[in-house]
Amino acid sequence: MNINKPVLLIDEEKCRANIQRMASLCADKKMSFRPHFKTHQSLAVGKWFKEVGVSKIAVSSLSMAEYFSKEWNDILVAFPTNVLEDELINHLAQRIHLNLLVESLETISLLADVVKFPLTIYIEIDTGYHRTGVYFDDYQMIDSILEVIKNADCLSFGGFITHSGHSYDCLGKEEVLSLHHINKNRFLQVKSRYIADYSNLIISYGDTPTTSIADDFDGVDELRPGNFVCYDVTQVQIGSCDFNQIAVVLACPIISIHKERGEIIIYGGSVHLSKDSLKWQDKGVIYGLLAEKTEKGWCEPIENAYVYSLSQEHGKIKMAEIELLKYNVGQIVYIYPIHSCLVISSMRGFTTLTGEILDVYRGL
């Protein structure tokens, strides 16, 4: 494979193993599996999910739903509905089983007036993340939203969803499990309040840290994680995975070496890796780790080698002198991303280890 500029590589074997692991968890726990496709954003990768029996998905925008509607029928837009996109909402609802997310009385009231074709509504519940969602014990608001759905001609109630995004702030499995216990119990409290009146409602739970680490999902009907398909350095730090499960790296050419500073300069900057960062061990803030290359791809990161600075096209790698001597200008290095979702979105495509290019969604 000829690489002469930044290329996002995907290890199909690792990716498929991640998919199978999550599908098996759902099967073992008698939950349905609605993976969030905002991470990989690819129809080609989506086919790998179909091979393990997945029949419904989540996405993060209506335009992404349109992209995936070529091959998927049951799609949840897991983002508070933007009522200004009513034309696209109706276009999709006419063609597929469209599921939308609401978290306010104002939004559901506006939707009830503009939706012309049947679709399903899920109410987002805030179990502690405090980004969007109706707070888990705000039954007055939930009741008001349900009343609008009941009286609308084209809307039906599907259930509740939550996203424990604050699990990304956890360090270690114990913190994740503690947060999961609180959030799951709050979510089940909502379910128990409404199951008598809505016997077919489902509660959909989704974030990669808790679904990768926890084992207790009693009462949860559906899992909806996304990042797990590729994982990244953030997930390693949290405890969701190990490095051998990270299915993507950014391949970058070396354009300069400064031995006096212990630095390698790569063609690979913030437009490729994004500006997502984290504090890593004793290295301070980093933007990626250098992966050890193997005949079949990559494995553990190289010790004391990390991306410590990014500009638009340039990346600076700090490295121990003994390792630095192994590299020359024109070589390709592999970078583990801090946040795979943003790198995939930035690169707009994958290349497999056999050289096949996998196209991805190119909207915003």
**Helix or strand or coil: residue 232?**
coil
Predicted local confidence at residue 176, as pLDDT: 97
Predicted local confidence at residue 364, as pLDDT: 65
Mean pLDDT of 20-37: 98
Q: How many CB atoms lie within 10 A of CB 197?
A: 9
Residue 283's nearest CA partner among 252, 305, 255 is 305
Residue 223 phi, psi dihedral angles, 5° rounding: -105, 145
Mean pLDDT of 140-165: 97
- Taking only the tens place, the pLDDT of each residue in 68-100 is 999 999 999 999 999 999 999 999 999 999 999
**Token pair belonging to 4:** 């002469």
Q: Using CA atoms, how far apart are residues 286 and 86, in angstroms rounded to an integer?
A: 41
Q: At 48, is the pLDDT very low, low, confident or very high (cuts 50, 70, 90)?
A: very high
Entry pTM: 0.96
Spell out the alpha helix ranges (H) of 29-121.
43-50, 62-68, 86-95, 105-114
- Taking only the tens place, the pLDDT of each residue in 201-232 is 999 998 999 999 999 999 999 999 999 999 99
pLDDT, mean over the chain: 96
Q: How many CB atoms lie within 10 A of CB 7?
A: 21
**Token pair belonging to 59:** 């996405």
Predicted local confidence at residue 113, as pLDDT: 97
Residue 193 phi, psi dihedral angles, 5° rounding: -70, -35
Could you confirm whether domain 12-230 is CATH 3.20.20.10? Answer: yes
Share of the chain above pLDDT 90, in %: 96
Q: At 322, is the pLDDT very low, low, confident or very high (cuts 50, 70, 90)?
A: confident
Could you state, in order of their start, the residue ranges of all structural domains in the chain? 12-230, 243-358
**For residues 245 and 14, is the Cβ–Cβ distance under 8 A?**
yes
**Domain at 243-358, CATH from 2.60.40.1480, 2.40.37.20, 3.40.50.1370, 1.10.3720.10:** 2.40.37.20
Q: Using CA atoms, how far apart are residues 8 and 213, in angstroms rounded to an integer?
A: 27
- For residue 5, the 8-state DSSP code is S
Q: At 362, is the pLDDT very low, low, confident or very high (cuts 50, 70, 90)?
A: confident
Answer whether 12-230 and 243-358 agree in fold: no
Residue 298 phi, psi dihedral angles, 5° rounding: -155, 160
